[in-house]
């Protein structure tokens, strides 16, 4: 188990390298100084903002630093990075949402086109299959024929069943058939893809609500999870996206992709701190293994140590 955790940490640190180098490089330059003074804290504030942590979260961290200095809990420049690591871990640790138990476990996936939603579904299917779980995929993103074909390919690769209709058909009908099939076949998981949508498109958001009603009708209490997939490279825009989606469709968790290609990984901290919605998975590379269950302690250490 230790080797597995070490391997996860190594991949995570490698995937977060751009954010780590940008943030830690600035912090190392700052903490290389002798005095723990206001000027150092101002430079640290800039470093956190540059990593797209967000102004509210940055100011909260800086206020915590100032309070610790005032109370003599923080007396050395060398203590700054361990202090931040611990505080960021605390910010990222929020109570889980959604319903647990039951079979099948139904996951509804949402997000805008380009965030990596369908690929994430495929990788989740692979993760569950590796655990010996049976999966059924529902191709309810009927607006894009490519999305249906992409999900079909993932189904072949991971051994998951697939429910699909023709492109342009009613997404709710796909969700209905998927629920019937998943329950009848005794599947452990049903993962439902939906059309990439903007929160400003009222018709698409209403369609999402209809899909949720159908799922709940077929299996009371489902979906057990509603996950929003966001592109980590969008930084502060990702925080705004989570807030807007959550107003229309209550989210139980977030999947953040493409963190390996950006220095804006600080947005992960801001997302959780400002919305109190937990991160469920993060993507730090192209391979299936690079989609990882989110661990606040590992993330904080990989980011700052």
Using one digit for the tens of pLDDT, what is the confidence trace for 102-122?
799 999 999 988 889 999 999
Is pLDDT above 50 for 254?
yes
- 3-state secondary structure at position 1: coil
pLDDT band at 32 (very low <50, low <70, confident <90, very high): low
Mean pLDDT calculated for residue range 286-293 = 87
The model's pLDDT over 53-112, given as tens digits with 9 standing for 90+, comes to: 899 999 999 999 999 989 999 888 888 889 999 999 999 999 988 877 679 999 999 998
Q: Is 144 exposed, middle or buried (0-12, 13-18, 19+ CB in 10 A)?
A: middle
Residue 201: pLDDT band (50, 70, 90) is low
Tell me 286's DSSP state: S
Segment 8-24 mean pLDDT:
77
In this prediction, residue 206 carries a pLDDT of: 82
Q: Name the DSSP class of 96.
A: -
Q: Is the pLDDT of residue 2 over 50?
A: no
Residues 6+ away with beta carbon under 8 Å from 179? 106, 190, 214, 215, 218, 219, 222
CATH of 2-92, one of 3.40.50.720, 1.20.120.140, 1.10.10.10, 2.60.120.10: 1.20.120.140
Please tell me if the domain spanning 2-92 has the same topology as the one spanning 105-295: no
Residue 18 has pLDDT above 60, yes or no: yes
Average the pLDDT over 224-230 and give the result.
95
DSSP 278: P
Residue 202 burial (C-beta neighbours within 10 Å; 0-12, 13-18, 19+): exposed
Reference 162, options 129, 153, 104, 105; nearest CA is: 153
Q: What is the CATH number of domain 105-295?
A: 3.40.50.300
Global pTM value: 0.90
Question: Nearest Cα to 12, choosing from 274, 303, 305?
Answer: 303
Q: Is pLDDT of 41 > 60? A: yes
Confidence of residue 1 (pLDDT cuts 50, 70, 90): very low
Q: 171: how many CB neighbours lie within 10 A of its CB?
A: 24
Spatial CB neighbours of 250, under 8 Å, sequence gap ≥ 6 = 226
Domain boundaries, the chain: 2-92, 105-295
| pLDDT-wise least confident of 4-13, 98-107, 124-133, 230-239 | 4-13
Segment 241-262 mean pLDDT: 88
How far is CA 256 from its chain centroid? 3
Average pLDDT of the residues of the chain: 88
């Amino acid at each position: 188990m230790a080797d597995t955790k070490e391997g996860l940490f190594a991949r995570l640190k490698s995937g977060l390298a751009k954010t780590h180098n940008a943030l830690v490089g600035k912090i190392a330059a700052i903490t290389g100084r002798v005095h723990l003074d206001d000027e150092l804290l101002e430079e640290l504030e800039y470093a956190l903002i540059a990593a797209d942590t967000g102004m509210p979260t940055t100011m909260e961290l800086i206020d915590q630093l100032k309070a610790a200095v005032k109370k003599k809990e923080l007396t050395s420049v060398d203590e700054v990075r361990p202090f931040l690591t611990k505080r960021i871990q605390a910010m990222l640790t929020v109570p889980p949402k959604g319903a647990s138990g039951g079979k099948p476990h139904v996951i509804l996936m949402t997000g805008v086109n380009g965030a990596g939603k369908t690929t994430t579904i495929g990788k989740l299917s692979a993760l569950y299959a590796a655990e010996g779980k049976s999966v059924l995929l529902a191709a309810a993103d009927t607006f894009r024929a490519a999305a249906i074909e992409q999900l079909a390919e993932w189904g072949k690769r991971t051994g998951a069943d697939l429910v699909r209709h023709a492109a342009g058909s009613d997404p709710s009908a796909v969700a209905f058939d998927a629920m019937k099939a998943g329950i009848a076949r005794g599947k452990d998981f049903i993962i439902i893809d939906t059309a990439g949508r903007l929160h400003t498109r009222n018709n698409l958001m209403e369609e999402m609500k209809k899909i949720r009603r159908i799922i709940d009708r077929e299996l009371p209490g489902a979906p057990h999870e509603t996950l929003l997939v966001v592109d980590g490279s969008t930084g502060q825009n990702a925080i705004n996206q989570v807030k807007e989606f959550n107003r229309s469709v209550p989210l139980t968790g977030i999947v953040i992709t493409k963190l390996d290609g950006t220095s804006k990984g600080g947005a992960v901290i801001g997302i959780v701190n400002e919305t109190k919605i937990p991160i469920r998975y993060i993507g730090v590379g192209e391979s299936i293994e690079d989609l990882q269950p989110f661990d606040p302690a590992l993330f904080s250490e990989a980011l700052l140590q």
